[in-house]
Amino acid sequence: MALLPILVYPDPRLHTAAKPVQAVDARIRALVADLLETMYEANGIGLAATQVDVHERVIVIDISEERNEPLVLVNPEITWASDEKQIGDEGCLSVPGIYDGVERSSAIRVRALDQQGQSRELAAEGLLDVCIHHEMDHLRGKVFVEYLSPLKRNRIKSKMLKARRETERAD
Ligand code: K1U
Ligand code: ZN
């Protein structure tokens, strides 16, 4: 297992669309193990392969209090989304320190392969629904700040670039 570096917004690689996984083999299982280790170490509740510069449709999630209920979704597809919407606060390990509300469908059904390559369907609402939407956006190259106003987004971009310059100067 390995800790992987997480891309930070506005890195252009975050806007790459991920390709479907052809087979859930040892390479994908190793990627899943690395994503889980990286997500837990960063105290995140989700992580998409895109965020570690791997452009394949793999996401991991764990919204449990005890951090012991990993959910692995390979090639996830939303098969149903409610008309009802919710606005939930979102954060992102690729946009550290920024939290804002985003409107999403309040309930979804998702079909995906698990770590063994078995097809599964699950229903999600609340935080799990928000997290799945957020991670699936990463797989199509979309970062949650793109739902915010251009003014907010530009402020966030400037803040991230300033933080990067300061880190580079300190190194
Ligand atoms: O995709 C990511 O960068 C992970 C992200 C997932 C996420 C959190 C909250 C709403 C939607 C998606 C995070 O884990 S951010 C850090 C975090 O642990 C957190 C932030 C807000 C609420 C709950 C958890
Ligand atoms: Zn994110």
Identify the CA nearest to 38 among candidates 47, 25, 29, 26. 47
- The structure tokens 């999630």 sit at 61
Averaged pLDDT, 127-147: 98
Q: How many angstroms does the Cα of residue 4 sit away from the middle of ligand 2? A: 15
Identify the CA nearest to 157 among candidates 12, 3, 1. 12
All residues at 6 or more sequence positions from 39 whose CB lies less than 8 Å from its CB, including other chains: 45, 46, 47, 60, 62, 93
> What does the pLDDT look like over 56-80, one tens digit per residue?
999 999 999 999 999 999 999 999 9
For residue 60, give the ligand nearest its CA.
Answer: 1
Residue 167 CB burial class (10 angstroms; 0-12, 13-18, ≥19): exposed
Q: Is 144 in the pocket of ligand 1 (CB under 6 A)?
A: no
Q: Is 134 in the pocket of ligand 1 (CB under 6 A)?
A: yes
Averaged pLDDT, 124-136: 98
Percent of residues, the chain, with pLDDT higher than 70: 100
Minimal-distance CA residue to ligand 1 atom 21: 91
For residue 87, give the ligand nearest its CA.
Answer: 1
* pLDDT the model gives residue 1: 85
* pLDDT the model gives residue 107: 98
* pLDDT the model gives residue 144: 98
Q: Rounded to 5 degrees, what are φ and ψ at 138?
A: -55, -40
Q: Is 61 in the pocket of ligand 1 (CB under 6 A)?
A: no
Q: Is 131 in the pocket of ligand 1 (CB under 6 A)?
A: yes
Q: Is 18 in the pocket of ligand 1 (CB under 6 A)?
A: no
Nearest-angstrom CA–CA distance, 75 and 114: 9
> What does the pLDDT look like over 68-118, one tens digit per residue?
999 999 999 999 999 999 999 999 999 999 999 999 999 999 999 999 999
Nearest-angstrom CA–CA distance, 131 and 84: 17
Residues identified as active-site: 135
Which ligand 1 atom is at minimum distance from the Cα of 89? Answer: 10
Mean pLDDT of the chain: 98
For residue 48, give the ligand nearest its CA.
Answer: 1
Neighbours of 160 (CB within 10 A): 20
DSSP string, 112-144: EE-TTS-EEEEEEEHHHHHHHHHHHHHHTT--G
* pLDDT at residue 139 greater than cutoff 90: yes
Torsion of CA 109, 113, 114, 119, to 10 degrees: 80
